[in-house]
């Protein structure tokens, strides 16, 4: 027989951005420990629907830790207690019988709540549109091997590029800063010759957009790095700052 | 029966695409600005197409159901992307990539399409590098490659185990650039609910717009354009449990089908051999373990039935079974390819063993993938270096340490080769409607090779559609923009609203998921890895029953005029039931085994797939004939002019 646990779930319910939200408690009985956290919510939602109530709304999609859609603040941590994992990769065996588990949405000025646990992260798209690309057209590019890139640089760029855009860094930051997100994209492209061409412009415009959208500033608390499900390093923020200062000095 | 014109250009295989481009019609820059294109979907195909069309100067509207284009399920592709660069000097060429793909597809795809795919594969790699995609590199600074199933060369480019993510983020970057330029408008959290057709002066119906639902506000809205492109992925979630993301669905394709677009080869679904087995009835999806694991893992089940029984009841530890009592059945059956046979072959072999009672977990539906031998040969560190992240993922999900115990795996639905029929120009049977990526049927025949899905999505989006759509739009430059107040939009919106009202008023007691799970069981049981005439006929009956259950017992809480996730799922489920029927009809018609479609009546004495080229060398196109009516079959013959059609052999 599989091991099961029973526990109390406190979930943030909020009808719309403008309405006031509150916690609601649900008693969860005999949940198998090999159930994922989101499957546990599926079970609860099935119960709610069967009672004729509206299910809890939360974002989720791939359920394998890569799409960046899931975004739950579990027991005070973005994506819950596991390190280097998204909410969908969290399994109930990490919790104990009799626990009280608190589930909230991302809380940040930059991410308004849409309903319950679902937030609006379109600000990240807007930051990307401000410069998170190389300004090239399709076709007319050189052969892929024309410009050699050292393995070390390519690996560092890949480390930065592993960001899934979930927003955990913003949710973890006391200032609600999006610096880890911005720096990951700026670093990835600044490390590669293809992105270096417009590195200065990119750093300035992405940071400017981040400020404009109401995200806070970085005060090096490193909470973002600790909570990032992909372990993106804050050394990227240092790199972003270098790019930014260099760009400003040229102005 | 009307002959189907797939518009294959004249000339030798290697010159067809060049000839096409040299003679096709183009649209000049001033006119491009006057033409609107709707792109539905923002995965590799949709995002690359929207970005490229925007870059050319068309006015593009790109729709996705997620909160950002970057979430599309292309992001989850792990292994890599094929290209015929021959950077390894190991004998690769455009022709060889073309040949491997046709053969891998069990000779059920078009020569000209596949050749073009191989031809543009190299451009994709160049483009992605220019975008800043951090592909793996060698110490010398050049790009690294690895091998995948069904090929004798190393042609797969990769970015760790996250190639799909990096390629999609590249396309998303390009898309973001075009949004900034003002050429693309994004519609996120918006779901297409119908296709709108408008008759032209000659009475020809053309795709001119869509009806969509704003998933946040629940509003039903309209959007018009000169052409509509759908790149909305596959329909694997018909089975409920699959490696697809929760939101993946076949609804956009079905809306087009109901408006007259043919659905081609729906029975061709790929079952991936290495997924984590089902562990309980609360499970929501299946997790893929990369094909690369089969490079070093050995697949086995016990030789003795009594050992299997003890494993199933938990009395025996697999490590206590000596080597001589282990049946490495892939190595036994396919000495030449061993554990690296193509996906369809590996999946069927696992099913065969489990059907005979040799399954190794409590459900009897699992086989071992053992790294003991690789660890003995290479050392734990080397294995950890190669597969560490996959091992961690496996342990997190199953609570079993794969360094010490063999992994348990089982096949799961992963990809659908079938889809909306398109001609060489990627245009469907509805003028002005195009289908790209997994959503169309075009390039993979009856089985897709690893690392070819990313290649096809990006080929369609960056390098094929942006040319071929101009051949259509060149005739449309005089057509003014359409008002969404037209009666065609009025009528389409009305029927969408009526359908929603009907669903909301069922007032039953069952959730969408509970019915969807039942559908999944029917599909897996009767339209799964092994199909028979009897099972497919049973499926059709049971699918009719489940449709009745849907209309009687479904309960969707809340109201439609606001965010309502259950309503979204209810709408998609209705289409999944319809797709299930199409799959069963197609499977019933295709009385042969090929690729992912295995009819148990048609196998060789050794249990291998047996094709009947004399009767079934065609694309089965299904035409909608009205609700509740059987679809009509049209055939597009497959003529192989340039290669010799053979029986696939992975034994020697």
Given a cut of 50, is residue A7 above it in pLDDT? yes
DSSP state of A69: -
Question: Is the domain of B404 the same as that of B515?
Answer: no
Q: Does B49 touch chain A if contact means CB atoms closer than 8 Å?
A: no
Shared domain for A27 and A139, answered yes or no, is no
CA distance B201 to B206: 11
Same domain, yes or no: A126 and A85: no
Position B450 in a domain: no
User: Are residue A11 and residue A90 in the same domain, yes or no?
Assistant: yes
A138 in reach of chain B (CB within 8 A): yes
Q: Find the CATH number of the domain harbouring A105.
A: 3.10.20.30
Q: What is the value of pTM for the model shown?
A: 0.97
In a 3-state reduction of DSSP, which class is residue B262?
coil
Handedness of CA B10, B12, B17, B21 (dihedral sign): negative
The secondary structure of residue B243, as a DSSP letter, is S
CA-nearest residue of chain B to A90?
Answer: B396
* Complex ipTM over 0.90: yes
How many CB pairs below 8 A link A and B?
210
Among B206, B213, B294, B343, the active-site one is: B343
- Same domain? A130 vs A110: no
Could you tell me if B29 lies within 8 Å of chain A, comparing CB atoms?
no
CA torsion angle for A160, A164, A168, A170 (degrees, to 10)?
60
Q: What is the pLDDT of residues B172-195, one digit of tens each?
A: 999 999 999 999 999 999 999 999
H or E stretch at A210:
helix A199-212
Task: Print the domain residue range for B356.
Answer: 275-411
- Taking contacts as CB-CB distances below 8 angstroms, the residues of chain A near B462 are 138
pLDDT of residue B2: 63
Q: Using only the alpha carbons of chain A, give its radius of gyration.
A: 20
- Closest to B87 (Cβ–Cβ): which among A48, A124, A145? A145
The domain boundary residue, chosen from B382, B411, B440: B411
- In chain A, which residues have their Cβ closer than 8 Å to the Cβ of B69? 125
State the helix-helix crossing angle for B44-56 and B163-181, rounded to 10 degrees.
30
| Sites in chain B below the pLDDT cut of 70 | 1-2, 652
Check residue B392 and give its pLDDT: 87
pLDDT in tens, A107-130: 999 999 999 999 999 999 999 999
Give the chain A residue nearest B143 (alpha carbons). Answer: A145
- Decide if A93 touches B, using CB distance below 8 A: yes
Distance (Å, whole) CA A45 – CA A39: 10
CA B633 to CA B573: how far, in whole Å? 24
- The chain B residue lying nearest A40, using CA atoms, is B282
Task: Let me know whether A155 and A239 are in one domain.
Answer: yes
Segment B587-593 long-range contacts (CB within 8 Å, at least 24 positions apart)? B587/B267, B587/B527, B587/B531, B587/B536, B588/B533, B588/B536, B588/B537, B588/B540, B589/B620, B589/B633, B590/B267, B590/B616, B590/B620, B591/B533, B591/B615, B591/B616, B592/B616
Same domain, A57 and A163: no
Give the count of domains, chain B.
2
CATH code for the domain of A216: 1.10.1060.10
Are the C-beta atoms of residues B206 and B411 closer than 8 Å to each other?
A: no
Instruction: Say whether both B531 and B629 belong to one domain.
Output: yes
pLDDT at B78: 87
Which positions in chain B touch A59 (Cβ < 8 Å)?
Answer: 67
H-helix or E-strand spanning residue B61: strand B59-63
Residue A246 sits in the same domain as residue A135: yes
CB B329 within 8 A of CB B256: no
Domain assignment present for B230: no
Q: Answer with the one of B390, B411, B432 that is the final residue of a domain.
A: B411
- Same domain for B511 and B393? no
Note whether residue B463 is domain-resident. no
Q: Which residue of B has its CA nearest to A94?
A: B396
Chain B, residues 170-199, CB within 8 A of chain A, namely: 172-174, 176-177, 179-180, 186, 188
| CA B599/CA B610 separation, integer angstroms | 9
Q: Indicate the number of domains in chain A.
A: 2
Q: Characterise B419 by phi-psi region: left (phi > 0), alpha (psi -120 to 50), beta (else).
A: left
CATH code at position B393 = 3.90.700.10
Closest CA to B195 of B336, B4, B306, B63: B63
Asked if B295 and B405 sit in the same domain, the reply is: yes
Spatial neighbors of B60 by CB under 8 A, at least 6 apart, are: B36, B37, B38, B39, B50, B53, B54, B178, B183, B184, B185
Decide which of A92, A114, A136 is a domain's last residue. A114
Nearest by CB to B280, from A32, A125, A150: name it: A32
Scanning B84-113 for CB atoms below 8 A from A yields 85, 87
| 8 Å CB contact of A129 and B180 | yes
Interchain contact, A49 vs B557, CB within 8 Å: yes
- CB within 8 Å of chain A, chain B residues 222-261: 245-247
Q: Could you give the CA distance from residue B195 to residue A37 in angstroms, rounded to a whole number?
A: 37
B140 to A65: CB separation less than 8 angstroms, yes or no? no
Res B146: pLDDT: 84
**What pLDDT is recorded for position B566?**
98
Choose one of A81, A114, A147: the last residue of a domain: A114
Q: What phi and psi values does residue B391 have, to the nearest 5 degrees? A: -65, -40
Instruction: Determine contact: A148 vs chain B, CB below 8 A.
Output: yes
Distance CA B632, CA B37 (A): 30
Q: Which of A55, A81, A114 is the last residue of a domain?
A: A114
Residue B104 lies in a domain: no
Q: Let me know whether A86 and A149 are in one domain.
A: no
Q: Does A213 touch chain B (CB under 8 A)?
A: no
Is A53 within 8 Å of chain B by CB? yes
- Residues B380, B507, single domain; the answer is no
- The helix/strand/coil state of B195 is strand
Look over chain A and give the mean of its residue pLDDT values, rounded to a whole number. 96
pLDDT in the model for residue A2: 67
Please confirm, yes or no, whether B213 is among the known catalytic residues: no
Provide the residue range defining the domain that includes A204: 121-250
Three state DSSP letters for B357-387:
CCCCCCCCCCEEEECHHHHHHHCHHHHHHHH
A198 and A246 share one domain:
yes
Whether B602 and B511 map to the same domain: the answer is yes
Could you give the CA distance from residue B348 to residue B225 in angstroms, rounded to a whole number? Answer: 45
Residues of A in contact with B130 (CB under 8 A): 134, 136, 141-142, 194
Question: Are B565 and B574 within 8 A, CB to CB?
Answer: no
B585 in a structural domain: yes
Residues B500 and B626 in one domain: yes
Measured between beta carbons, the chain A residues lying within 8 angstroms of B511 are 45-46, 49-50
Instruction: Tell me: do B407 and B506 sit in the same domain.
Output: no
Answer yes or no: are the C-beta atoms of B594 and B616 closer than 8 Å. Answer: yes
The answer to whether residue B575 sits within a structural domain is yes
Q: Do the domain assignments include residue B304?
A: yes
CA distances from A177 to A110, B71, B86 (A): 9, 22, 45
Residues A246 and A125 in one domain: yes
Both B387 and B501 in one domain: the answer is: no
Chain B nearest CA to A121, separation (Å): 7
Please answer yes or no on whether A43 and B282 come within 8 Å at the CB atom.
yes
Give helix B533-553 / helix B512-526 axis angle, nearest 10°. 170
Q: A201: Cβ–Cβ under 8 A, 6 or more apart, which residues?
A: A131, A247
pLDDT digits (tens, 9 = 90+) for A186-206: 999 999 999 999 999 999 999
B567 vs A contacts (CB less than 8 Å): none
Q: Do B55 and A138 touch (CB under 8 A)?
A: yes
Task: Give me the pLDDT at residue B163, please.
Answer: 94
Q: Nearest residue of B to residue A131 by CA position?
A: B177
Q: Which of A54, A68, A118 sits opposite B71 (nearest CB)?
A: A68
For residue A1, the model assigns a pLDDT of 43
State the smallest CA–CA distance between residue B145 and chain A in angstroms.
Answer: 12
pLDDT at residue B1 in the model:
52
| A189-208 residues touching B, CB cutoff 8 A | 189, 192, 194-195
Reported as a single tens digit per residue, the pLDDT across A16-75 is: 999 999 999 999 999 999 999 999 999 999 999 999 999 999 999 999 999 999 999 999
What is the rounded CA–CA span in Å between residue A28 and residue B39?
43
Task: List the single residue in A with minimal CA-CA distance to B128.
Answer: A144
| Residue A80 shares a structural domain with residue A163 | no
Partner residue opposite B140 with nearest CB, options A61, A148, A189: A148
Whether B13 is in a domain gets the answer no
Residue B608 sits in a domain of what CATH number? 1.20.58.100
- Residue B279 is predicted with a pLDDT of 84
The whole-angstrom distance between B284's CA and the closest CA on chain A is: 6
Is residue A153 domain-shared with residue A238, that is, in the same domain?
Answer: yes
On whether the CB atoms of residues A236 and A184 are closer than 8 A, the answer is yes
Which of A45, A69, A154 has the CB atom closest to B71's CB atom?
A: A69
| Residue that finishes a domain, picked among B411, B444, B460 | B411
DSSP calls for B439-472:
GB--SSTTSPPTT-HHHHHHIIIIIIHHHHHHHH
């Amino acid at each position: 027989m599989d091991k099961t646990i029973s526990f109390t779930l406190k979930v943030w319910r909020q009808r719309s951005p403008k309405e006031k939200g509150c916690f609601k408690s649900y008693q969860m009985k005999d949940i198998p420990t090999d159930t994922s956290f989101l499957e546990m919510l599926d079970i609860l939602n099935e119960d709610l629907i069967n009672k004729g109530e509206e299910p809890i709304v939360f974002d989720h999609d791939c359920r394998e830790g890569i799409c960046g859609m899931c975004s739950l603040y579990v027991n005070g941590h973005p994506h819950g207690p596991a390190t280097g994992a998204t909410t969908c990769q969290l399994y109930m065996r990490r919790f104990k019988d009799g626990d009280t588990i608190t589930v909230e949405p991302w809380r940040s000025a930059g991410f308004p709540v849409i309903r319950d646990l679902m937030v609006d992260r379109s600000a990240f798209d807007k930051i990307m549109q401000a410069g998170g690309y190389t300004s090239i057209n399709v076709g007319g590019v050189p052969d892929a091997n024309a410009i050699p890139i050292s393995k070390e640089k390519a690996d560092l760029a890949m480390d930065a590029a592993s960001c899934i855009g979930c927003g955990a860094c913003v949710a973890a930051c006391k200032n609600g800063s999006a610096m880890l997100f911005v720096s990951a994209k700026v670093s990835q492209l600044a490390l590669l010759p293809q992105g270096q061409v417009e590195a200065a412009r990119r750093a300035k415009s992405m940071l400017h957009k981040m400020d404009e959208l109401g995200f806070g500033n970085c005060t090096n608390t490193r909470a973002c790095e600790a909570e990032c499900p992909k372990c993106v390093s804050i050394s990227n923020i240092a790199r972003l700052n270098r790019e930014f200062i260099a760009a400003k000095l040229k102005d | 029966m009307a002959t189907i014109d797939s518009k294959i250009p004249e000339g030798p295989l290697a010159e067809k695409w060049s000839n096409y481009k040299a003679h096709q019609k183009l649209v000049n820059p001033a006119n491009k600005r006057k033409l609107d294109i709707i792109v539905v979907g923002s995965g590799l195909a949709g995002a690359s197409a929207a970005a490229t069309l925007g870059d050319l100067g068309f006015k593009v509207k790109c729709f996705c159901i997620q909160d950002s284009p970057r979430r599309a399920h292309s992001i989850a592709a792990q292994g890599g992307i094929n290209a015929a660069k021959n950077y390894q000097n190991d004998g690769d060429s455009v022709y060889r990539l073309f040949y491997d793909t046709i053969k891998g597809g069990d000779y059920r795809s078009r020569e000209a399409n596949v050749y073009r795919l191989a031809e543009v594969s190299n451009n994709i790699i160049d483009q992605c590098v220019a975008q800043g995609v951090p592909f793996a590199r060698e110490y010398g600074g050049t790009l690294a490659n690895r091998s995948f199933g069904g090929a004798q060369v190393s042609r797969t480019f990769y970015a760790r185990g996250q190639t799909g993510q990096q390629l999609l983020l590249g396309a998303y970057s390009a898309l973001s650039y075009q949004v900034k330029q003002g050429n693309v408008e994004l519609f996120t959290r918006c779901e297409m609910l119908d296709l709108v057709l408008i008759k032209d002066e000659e009475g020809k119906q053309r795709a001119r717009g869509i009806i969509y639902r704003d998933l946040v506000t629940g509003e039903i809205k309209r959007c018009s354009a000169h052409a509509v492109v759908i790149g909305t992925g596959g329909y694997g979630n018909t089975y409920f449990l699959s490696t697809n993301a929760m939101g993946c669905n076949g609804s956009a394709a079905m809306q087009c089908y109901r408006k007259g677009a043919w659905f081609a080869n729906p029975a061709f679904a790929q079952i991936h051999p290495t997924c984590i087995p089902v562990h309980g009835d609360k499970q929501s999806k299946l997790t893929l373990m990369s094909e690369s694991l089969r490079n070093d893992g050995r697949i086995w089940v016990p030789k003795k039935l009594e050992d299997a029984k003890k494993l199933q009841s938990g009395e025996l530890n697999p490590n206590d079974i000596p080597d001589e009592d282990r049946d490495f059945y892939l190595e036994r059956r396919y000495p030449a390819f061993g554990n690296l046979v193509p996906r369809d072959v590996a999946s069927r072999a696992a099913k065969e063993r489990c059907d005979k009672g040799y399954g190794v977990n409590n459900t009897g539906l699992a086989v071992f993938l053992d790294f003991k031998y690789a660890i003995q040969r290479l050392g734990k560190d080397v294995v950890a270096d190669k597969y560490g992240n996959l091992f961690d993922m496996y342990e997190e999900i199953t609570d079993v340490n794969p360094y010490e115990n063999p992994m348990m795996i089982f096949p799961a639905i992963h990809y659908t080769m079938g889809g909306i029929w398109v001609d060489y120009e990627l245009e469907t049977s509805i003028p002005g409607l195009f289908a790209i990526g997994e959503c169309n049927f075009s390039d993979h025949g009856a089985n897709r090779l690893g690392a070819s899905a990313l290649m096809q999505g990006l080929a369609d989006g960056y390098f094929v559609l942006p040319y071929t759509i101009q051949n259509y739009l060149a005739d449309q430059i005089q057509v003014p923009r359409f008002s969404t107040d037209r009666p065609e939009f009025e009528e389409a919106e009305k029927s969408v609203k009526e359908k929603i009202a009907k669903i909301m008023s069922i007032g039953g007691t069952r959730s969408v998921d509970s019915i969807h799970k039942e559908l999944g069981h029917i599909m897996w049981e009767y339209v799964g890895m092994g199909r028979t005439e009897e099972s497919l006929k049973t499926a059709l009956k049971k699918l009719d029953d489940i449709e009745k259950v849907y209309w009687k017992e479904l309960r969707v809480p809340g109201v439609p005029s606001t965010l309502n996730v259950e309503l979204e799922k209810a709408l998609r489920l209705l289409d999944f039931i319809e797709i299930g029927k199409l799959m069963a009809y197609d499977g019933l018609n295709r009385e042969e085994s090929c690729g992912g479609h295995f009819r148990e009546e048609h196998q060789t004495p050794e249990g291998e797939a047996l094709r009947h080229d004399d009767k079934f060398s065609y694309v089965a196109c299904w035409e909608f004939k009205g609700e509740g009516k059987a679809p009509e079959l049209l055939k597009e013959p497959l003529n192989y002019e340039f290669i010799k059609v053979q029986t696939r052999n992975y034994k020697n």
